[in-house]
A and B are shown apart, each in its own frame.
Chain A
Amino acid sequence: MFDVKKVREDFPILGRSVRGVPLVYLDSGATSQKPFQVLDAERHYYENSNAAVHRGAHALAEEATDAYESARETLANFVGAETSEIVFTKNATEGINLVAYAFSNATDKARHGLEVDPRFVVGPGDSIVVSEMEHHANLIPWQELCAKTGATLRWFGVSDEGRLILEPGVIDSSTKFVSVVHQSNLLGTINPVKEIMDMAHAVGALGMVDVCQSVPHMPVDVRELGADFATWSGHKMLGPTGIGILWGRNDLLNAMPPFLTGGSMIEMVNMDHSTYAPAPQRFEAGVPMVAQAVGLARACDYLTDLGMHNVFEHERELTAYTLAELAKVDGVRVIGPTDNSERGSAVSFVVEGIHPHDVGHMMDAQGVAVRVGHHCCWPTCKRFDVPATTRITTYIYNDKADIDQAIAGIKDAQAFFGTSSKVSA
């Protein structure tokens, strides 16, 4: 196990105060903080090797290209992928859209008689399957795809305990694509994605896993997911904003029409038609985010040094503590699994009689940063009949004292709004 105190020293921001009190950051599910090693790596790149990659033959261009491509290799190693299967995107949202647009672009081209891979053509009578605990990023692109093509959107429901209900028949012979979240950012649930991907493959459908909340927090080997695609964002795993990853099986990536088009993604260009580079370049139009790739690779190294098993165990322990402490507070109801198995560190809750905005505000007054709202999972909130929740998410730099501070904030809110007889310490 690692020393949290030492880890904290790497994060300059954790030393600051907010609203006159020391910051307690419990919103890493939204975005993580960045260690100085990542910031230094970006700065070092800009100060020493900055140039446009894959263009020009000068020394800096070579160094920049090398930095960018080695970052890709680091990312691939981090999740057990081949380097050519790693596409750099802006974030997970773009990764999901890239795949959804492969379907809609292929479907469009097929309508005009162009030759496309039939696995990406959808239409009336076909279905796309998601779940009721998806982030909007893994819902809206599929709603749009269905609206454009006439396909039907279906989903697995969620139980009162916050687990997926894998009813038979949701995935059937009409299903062309299945996309589900690995770890819910609202409920914390870790889903049996291998089982779901196997169900998809059994009917000849392709499948994707949204690994935004799992890759930063536990060891993930993309091969073991059993999926065809997986996507996540760099900013939730100590990396910079503006960079994400789409992992896809090589044969599929190369069979997909491009998403964004322009420079850098071509093979040959004529005035009336062009051919495209193989993946991953095919999906990286324009000058890419090189410094961010370098920073993200450094974040991978940082996490690898800590050990992803250790990261998971550290958060498991903190989650157990969070759940136990919340259970002791009258009027607090956890939305999501309350047992600490097959669950990650996102813990959502509601406080009876106090709106999450007010809970969050009272916690903020104590320096505790938590997220309030629907967490981009509005349908999931509706499923649990709550307009919003307050959510604690932890990471490598949090400890039990942070949780104690959060609990004190909740009790303060209860005392302030007069919903509890207990007075806060």
Chain B
Amino acid sequence: MSEDLYQEIILDHYKNPRGKSVFMTSLGESHQVNPTCGDEVTVHVGSGPDGTIQVSYECQGCSISQASASVMSELINGKTPEEAAPIQAAFIELMQSKGKLEPDEEVLEDGIAFAGVSKYPARIKCALISWMALADAQIRAQLTPAPNNSGTD
């Protein structure tokens, strides 16, 4: 019953979080709270070699929010904003899928473990909070994809 929510991968990231404090100069910071449960996450974004994104975070929350932050940092750290954007979009799409989407492991790697979370409306926010903080911190750090590469025009 709980297994579709608490995948092994999620429990592993929860117990052994990756990339929590990356040593870097923060260019943008975002603090997000989940007002229904009081969970908090802070994401820092900095700039690495060749305009890549560096991510570090602090997270106080449930297993889902902590594991999601860990997966987020693993997936995004070292990617350019252009490389990161489709991953971010894919994760958000997965979370909005109500369990009806077959996630692409090529794109989301460990992130596919969160497919089951999208079936529990109360937990979607937990899985998304660090990704929302990332997007906001990127804007503050001006590390978003260049407009002509964003694919929206």
Q: Which residues of A contact B (CB under 8 A)?
A: 19-20, 355-358, 361-362, 365, 372-374, 378, 381, 387-388, 416-417
Contacts and interface: CB of A to CB of B under 8 A. Distances in A.
Contacts of B64: 357-358
Given A361-B123, A373-B37, A381-B38, A387 B61 contact: yes
A24 to B, nearest CB: 15
8 contacts: A355-B61, A355-B63, A357-B64, A357-B126, A361-B2, A373-B38, A374-B37, A387-B60
B2 A356 contact: no
Contacts of A361: 2, 5, 120, 123
Contacts of A373: 36-38
Among A19, A357, A387, the most chain B Cβ lie within 10 Å of the Cβ of: A357
A417 B39 CA distance: 19
B120 to A, nearest CB: 8
Interface in B38-65: 38-40, 60-64
A319 to B, nearest CB: 25
B63 A356 contact: no
Contacts of A416: 2, 6
Given A355-B62, A357-B37, A358-B63, 6 more contacts: A355-B63, A356-B37, A361-B2, A373-B36, A387-B60, A416-B6
Contacts of A20: 1
Contact of A387 (B1, B6, B40): B40
B110 to A, nearest CB: 19
B93 to A, nearest CB: 23
Contacts of A362: 2
A357 B61 contact: yes
Contacts of B61: 355, 357, 387
A387 B2 contact: no
A47 B61 CA distance: 49
Chain B contact residues: over half helix, strand or loop, or mixed? loop
B38 A374 contact: yes
Is the interface on chain B under 10, 10 to 19, 20 to 34, or 35 or more residues?
10 to 19
A391 to B, nearest CB: 12
A358 B62 contact: yes
Interface of B: 1-2, 5-6, 11, 36-40, 60-64, 120, 123, 126
Nearest to A378: B38
Contacts, number: 46
B38 A365 contact: no
Contacts of A378: 38
A314 B64 CA distance: 38
Nearest to A367: B1
Contacts of B1: 19-20, 365
A388 B38 contact: yes
A218 B123 CA distance: 35
A374 B39 CA distance: 10
Contact of B62 (A19, A356, A365): A356
B31 to A, nearest CB: 14
Contacts of A372: 37
A19 B5 CA distance: 13
Top 7 closest A-B pairs, CB basis?
A: A357-B62, A355-B62, A373-B37, A365-B1, A387-B38, A374-B38, A365-B2
B123 A357 contact: yes
A179 B99 CA distance: 46
Contacts of B36: 373
A72 B61 CA distance: 45
A417 B8 CA distance: 11
A364 to B, nearest CB: 9
A355 B37 CA distance: 10
Nearest to B120: A361
Contacts of A365: 1-2
A365 B4 CA distance: 11
B112 to A, nearest CB: 20
A417 B126 CA distance: 18
B152 to A, nearest CB: 34
Contacts of A358: 62-64
A360 to B, nearest CB: 9
Among B6, B36, B62, B63, the most chain A Cβ lie within 10 Å of the Cβ of: B62
Contacts of A374: 37-38
Nearest to B11: A417
A355 B36 CA distance: 14
Nearest to B126: A357
A283 B5 CA distance: 48
B118 to A, nearest CB: 14
B122 to A, nearest CB: 8
Contacts of B120: 361
B117 to A, nearest CB: 10
A407 B141 CA distance: 47
B116 to A, nearest CB: 12
A385 to B, nearest CB: 12
A365 B120 CA distance: 12
B2 A388 contact: no
Contacts of B126: 357
A198 to B, nearest CB: 35
A374 B11 CA distance: 24
A365 B126 CA distance: 18
